[in-house]
Amino acid sequence: MKENLLKSIVNCRAKHPERMNATFERIEEVLALLAENNLLNSFKTQTKTWGIKNKRSPLTKTQGEKIAEFLASHLSPRQIRKMSRLLHDAEISTREAIDLHEAFKIPVSQLEKDLVFVRGEGVWKTDTKGDKYLDMDSNYSATNLGMANPEIARGLFNQATQFISTKEDRVHIPRARFIKVIHKIMPKGLTHFFWQNSGGEAVDKAIKIAKAYTGQKGTIAFEGGFHGRTHGALAVTYNQKYRKPFLLHQEDWVHFVPYNDTNAVEKVLQSGQAKIVILELVQGEEAGIRLAEKSFVKKLRALCNQYKAVLICDEVQSGFGRTATKPGEWWACQTYGIAPDIMTIGKSFGGGYPVTAVVTSPEISRAMKPGYDGSTFGGNPMAMVAAFIAIRQMQEKDLTTNVVARNRQFVDGLKKMHSPLIQKIRSLGLMIGIDLPAKQDVQKFQDTLKQHGVHSSLSTEQTVRFLPPLIISENEVEFALKGIAGTLKKMAAENLALIV
């Protein structure tokens, strides 16, 4: 036991080349969580003479050994076990990690700094304090199979110790394996892949392929749509706030039209200004889970056929079973009963490991010629190993069947709460959003929900989103519902107190 404590303070590089020795500040932090104040004080007094000049520097071996000795003789076996685990999970203090992030990260988005997660198991995430939270975010839908999938981890380790990297246009065996199995779950007709590393990149490349095929640049995109932050993806993303700083708000080739409005689409197609249409079948990021209407999607497909326009479905978020309404529905386009010409896929493609792709028909793929594009990392051996294992597991675990059952359970549970604070529920599969009365209610809701051990996804306006890993069980959905009910009850009581 003492041995493990020592190893969590003085790192064994041969075993853990990814770690450093623990800092004094982290040990203080963990001790404050586990022990009485007087022990913390005597620890501080005792260590004063041990030459620790900077609390944030990794301890030396000698300092670490002395600290381990002290702790082992003052803590209970249970406390020692917990301390070893917490130090193993993070040898740097939470405060220092946040300070480093704030000091050196380009602040491109809102900093979420209340919880620093260090470990995952199934649908549970553990933070630096050792507290567990039910993951209702799955990194924006990227970890359908949980945060630490043992088979994916093993496969990545094996591949990294064999051959880590090769560019997109080289033949390699992990990709050959992947191609042998992927076609079983792809929508009919989408057979040709161009591998990328992020959803935004996949959208960029989808637009390039569509331009090469149609010989035109005009693109119809939808109000409320989100397609990523790379230049091309951002140009077709609706929110002006994201586009304007980069002077992408006046692009002459992008035509935004209202979602679910076929007349508006037809007007642009008729004018000949566009031959490309890009669409999210469920607007996930910006519109707070807004579903396309079935009749709109059918008509849109017909219009694209009529005007010889290319229809791109961006399934970066909705793909890989997330929106299933029937067992075996791996893509939202199957739920809607249409076949896109081009589809972008990403997020949980590699079970959390970054890999994305553009997929299209053989005919459209022929518009791309050698020299038109390339990628150093796209579809590299590690990415293909992760995707191969993830896709095999998604099928073996029959995730689409689980999605259908868990959607029903979750939505029924929300309805049964009859809470006046839930204004609306929108969902397709395990993309679930609830509208609270106002935007300012969201922070309160999410903070209270965390106290119930549930971590929800990013919010949009007054919508709170839930995007759990697709492996979530019946009991775990029940846990989430209990937390939501408790949160709503507390908020309702506080609102009432304010009125009185």
Tell me: does residue 285 bind ligand PLP (CB under 6 A): yes
Binding string to ligand PLP for residues 109 to 148, with x set by CB under 6 A, is what? -------------------------------x--------
Q: Which residues of 233-259 are buried (b: 16+ CB within 10 A; e: fewer)?
A: bbbbbbbeebbeeeebeebeebbbbeb
Tell me: does residue 196 bind ligand PLP (CB under 6 A): no
Residue 188 CA to its chain's centroid (Å): 27
User: Which parts of 328-357 interact with ligand PLP (CB under 6 A)?
Assistant: 346
Cβ atoms within 10 Å, residue 499: 5
Give min distance, CB of 168 to ligand PLP, in A: 17
DSSP state string for 72-101: HHHS-HHHHHHHHHHHHH-SS-HHHHHHHH
Q: What is the side-by-side strand order in the sheet with 132-136?
A: 117-121, 124-127, 132-136, 454-456
Give min distance, CB of 205 to ligand PLP, in A: 12
Tell me: does residue 314 bind ligand PLP (CB under 6 A): yes
Member of 5, 22, 67, 203 binding ligand PLP (CB under 6 A):
203
Member of 75, 316, 384, 386 binding ligand PLP (CB under 6 A):
316
Q: Which residues contact 104 (CB under 8 A, 6 or more apart)?
A: none
How big is the CA angle at 109 (ends 106 and 110), to the nearest 5 degrees?
115
Give min distance, CB of 58 to ligand PLP, in A: 33
Member of 58, 120, 224, 284 binding ligand PLP (CB under 6 A):
284
64 or 232: whose CB is closer to ligand PLP? 232
The whole-angstrom separation of Cα 75 and Cα 463 is 46
> Which region among 59-67, 68-76, 225-233, 335-343 touches ligand PLP (by CB under 6 A)?
225-233
Binding string to ligand PLP for residues 1 to 30, with x set by CB under 6 A, is what? ------------------------------
3-state secondary structure of 266: helix
137 or 285: whose CB is closer to ligand PLP? 285
User: Which parts of 426-485 interact with ligand PLP (CB under 6 A)?
Assistant: none
In the DSSP assignment, the letter for residue 360 is E
Member of 119, 125, 205, 227 binding ligand PLP (CB under 6 A):
227
The whole-angstrom separation of Cα 322 and Cα 334 is 12
First and final CA of the chain: distance in angstroms?
56
Give min distance, CB of 227 to ligand PLP, in A: 5
Cβ atoms within 10 Å, residue 478: 13
**Count of residues interacting with ligand PLP (CB under 6 A):** 15
* Rounded alpha-carbon distances, angstroms, from residue 166 to 41, 170, 346, 378: 54, 7, 20, 9
Give min distance, CB of 51 to ligand PLP, in A: 46
Nearest Cα residue to 90 out of 140, 18, 138, 151: 18
Binding string to ligand PLP for residues 244 to 283, with x set by CB under 6 A, is what? ------------------------------------x---
322 or 455: whose CB is closer to ligand PLP? 322
Nearest Cα residue to 224 out of 261, 174, 193: 261
Cβ atoms within 10 Å, residue 413: 16
Task: Name the closest residue to ligand PLP (Cβ).
Answer: 199
C-beta of residue 215 within 8 angstroms of C-beta of residue 425 = no
Give min distance, CB of 363 to ligand PLP, in A: 24
Which residues are near ligand PLP by CB under 6 A? 140, 198-200, 203, 226-228, 280, 284-285, 314, 316-317, 346
